Amino acid sequence: MTEGGEQGASGPSSSDGLMEKVVNLCKRRGFIFPSAEIYGGFRSTYDYGPLGVNMLRNVKDAWWRSMVRLRDDVVGLDAAILSPAAIWAASGHLENFTDPLVDCRQCHERWRADKIEGVCPNCGSTDFTEPRSFNLMFKTHAGPVEDEGTVAYLRPETAQGMFTNFANVLVTSRKRPPFGIAQIGKSFRNEITPQNFVFRTREFEQMEMEYFVPPAEAPAWFDYWLAERHRWYLDLGIPEDQIRIRHHERDELSHYSSQTADIEFLFPWGWDELEGVANRGDFDLQAHILGSGERLEYFDQASGERYVPYVIEPAAGATRAMMAFLLSSYAEDEVAGESRTVLHLDWRLAPTQVAVLPLSRKEELEGISRRVLAMLQPLYLCDYDTTQSIGRRYRRQDEVGTPWCVTIDFGSLEDGAVTVRDRDTTEQVRCPIDGLAAELSSRTASS
């Protein structure tokens, strides 16, 4: 079975070259590698390299900071990935988490019927088998016996762990609605056509929050979270004209949702989903009440009121968001007559935030340079690079989005000062080593 874009860019995205450039940069500079490459790759799975792992962690940290750490109404959770069939029977995923699968009768490729507009992307044929429902969950067995009783699933979303732990979290955290449970972690979907680099893969990371509210307050909280999540992307540098909100039509809604809006990004192939914000009503808690027989409700001692909260869910993809940040920050420009590639990443997302660059490899500079590095490492993600000319090192740092380079030269031995270079303006200023932490901190505050 061939799947579009398994090894990289595909479709209309290829036309302006941005996708290929970013995919190449990711491979060349150690952001993202095709998985199991030495064995010929493995079906649309990817490994995050030294820079990619930093950047992906930064994306997740920025989300956690805004959704959990800076709030007193949201708490965190890290639930298991392996889960019993009972959860997915109750949630409706066993029955409903399907895509329509068709086979092309001419070339025998398999496709998601709703994505190909009746024409086989491989051979152009319009002769297909009848669509049949294909469940996207990865099924396995827990333990050495493979029978119906040991069937387990890799979670296709992090959300259910937050519903099944609702009562545990309510009791232990002493929160009351409105309050949220947030989780970041891997999810797995046996996508029929994984596509467009890390946009749609079978293994990916989600950042989801379930916000439990009194039912009457659900519409207002939906509006609040939609605006809040839109603002998060803008704050981290996605330009306003590359992001939009699209409300779902009634016939588009998932089986659990009464209201959904997507936050969409202008990907090279057009507008596509970055994050969904849904009003899930009490669908999930009621489903698990029915499935488990447990009481998943809130009892307000003051008013004597007992109710099953409604849920507003902002559901984002960490890997998909990272891709959007890479695409929107990529630029090619000219500096002093020389062309360069640059990622204009917000400093909070940059995989290296400060590069410490001794002008020469000579021993005299090593001690002072390493002292500067040791001073900055607890504060920022740092790189230490002594190879090649300083100009080439600046270009290498620009290409991976490093906002600031700190250069130590022979003058530094005399005056105890270093040069700080800004990625975007390429402006260089001299700064005493004693004042370096304050200088960088003032730049992070103003950027």
For residue 188, the minimal CB distance to ligand GAP (Å) is: 9
> CB atoms < 10 A from the CB of 174, how many?
8
For residue 276, the minimal CB distance to ligand GAP (Å) is: 4
The one-character DSSP state at 43 is T
Residue with Cβ nearer ligand GAP (316 or 405): 316
d(CA 106, CA 315): 38
Residue with Cβ nearer ligand GAP (213 or 316): 316
Q: Cβ neighbours of residue 210 under 8 Å, at least 6 residues apart?
A: 159, 162, 163, 180, 181, 182, 280, 284, 311, 312, 313
Residue with Cβ nearer ligand GAP (201 or 397): 201
Query: If residue 86 lies in a helix (H) or strand (E), which one and from where to where?
Result: helix 85-91
d(CA 73, CA 63): 15
For residue 208, the minimal CB distance to ligand GAP (Å) is: 5
For residue 403, the minimal CB distance to ligand GAP (Å) is: 26
User: Cβ-closest residue to ligand GAP?
Assistant: 317
How many C-alpha atoms does 426 have within 13 Å on its Cβ side? 13
| Phi, psi (rounded to 5 degrees) for 325 | -65, -40
Q: Are strands 138-141 and 270-281 parallel, antiparallel or unpaired?
A: unpaired
Q: Can you spell out the DSSP letters for 106-175?
A: TT--EEEGGGSTTS-TTT----BPPPEEEE--EEEESSS--SGGGEEEE-S-SHHHHHHTHHHHHHHH--
For residue 195, the minimal CB distance to ligand GAP (Å) is: 9
Residue with Cβ nearer ligand GAP (97 or 404): 97
Binding residues for ligand GAP (CB under 6 A) = 157, 159, 189, 191, 200-201, 204, 206, 208, 273-276, 313, 315-317, 319-320
Contact 76, 68 (CB under 8 A): yes
For residue 73, the minimal CB distance to ligand GAP (Å) is: 20
For residue 315, the minimal CB distance to ligand GAP (Å) is: 4
Residue with Cβ nearer ligand GAP (192 or 406): 192
Residue with Cβ nearer ligand GAP (158 or 329): 158
Residue with Cβ nearer ligand GAP (309 or 403): 309
